[in-house]
Amino acid sequence: MSDHLVLCVDRLITTETVQSLQASETEKPSGEGSSSSSSTSEGPHHPTTSATEVDGDDQDYLEADEEDPLIQNVECRICQEEDSIKNLETPCACSGSLKYAHRKCVQRWCNEKGDITCEICHQPYQPGYTAPPPAPEDTTIDI
């Protein structure tokens, strides 16, 4: 039979340790917690925690990770250059890959088209973006 390893809460433990833990858990009444520490004669002492339980220190660590975005680099929807989320903005109500854009890119686009309304979600861009004044319609052309 070959050796098998199981990864349990960032620790490598042997199959024998897992089997002994499972055997000790089945001997407990169902009302007791499933977090346990045990040592076996086959190997060193490995504290383990079941997948459903989280220690207090681990909970703080997990909460801090949930606040950070999973994707650190995204693409600007206008210039299509990849950049850090910290350098991009969400100028309107668009979502998904169209959510992020550089502030300079959005302002340049507003200057080109003449207004501050998103063509995709039809919402005005967040405050701070400006559009140039409309060109006068009664321009004269000298012949």
The last residue of a domain, from among 18, 33, 67: 67
Predicted confidence at residue 53, as pLDDT, reads 47
Portion of the chain with pLDDT greater than 70, in percent: 57
Q: Which residue has the higher pLDDT, 15 or 92?
A: 92
Percent of the chain at pLDDT > 90 equals 33
Buried b (16+ CB within 10 A) or exposed e, 34-50: eeeeeebeeeeebebbe
Q: Is residue 41 part of a domain?
A: yes
C-alpha span between 21 and 11 (Å, rounded) = 15
Q: Tally the domains of the chain.
A: 2
What are the Cα distances from residue 119, in Å, to 82, 83, 139, 143?
22, 23, 28, 38
Q: Are residues 24 and 74 in the same domain?
A: no
Tell me, yes or no, whether 48 lies in a domain: yes
Q: Band of the pLDDT at 28, cuts 50, 70, 90?
A: low
Query: Are residues 75 and 110 both part of a single domain?
Result: yes
- Structural domain including 94 reads 70-134
At which residue do the structure tokens 């004669």 appear? 41
In a shared domain, residues 60 and 88: no
83 and 59 belong to one structural domain: no
- Considering only residues 7 and 36, tell me which one the structure prediction assigns the higher pLDDT: 7
HSE-CB at 101 with a 13 A cutoff on CA atoms is 23
What is residue 48's predicted lDDT score, i.e. its pLDDT? 47
d(CA 99, CA 92): 8
Q: How high is the pLDDT of residue 54?
A: 47
Contact between 130 and 116 (Cβ < 8 Å): yes
Are 47 and 99 within one domain? no
Residues 35 and 76 occupy one common structural domain? no
Question: One-letter amino acid identity for 72?
Answer: Q
* CATH number for 95: 3.30.40.10
Report yes or no on 142 lying in a domain: no
Burial class of residue 92 (count of CB atoms within 10 Å of its CB; 0-12, 13-18, 19+) = buried
At residue 92, the pLDDT reads 94
**Residue 34: inside a domain:** yes
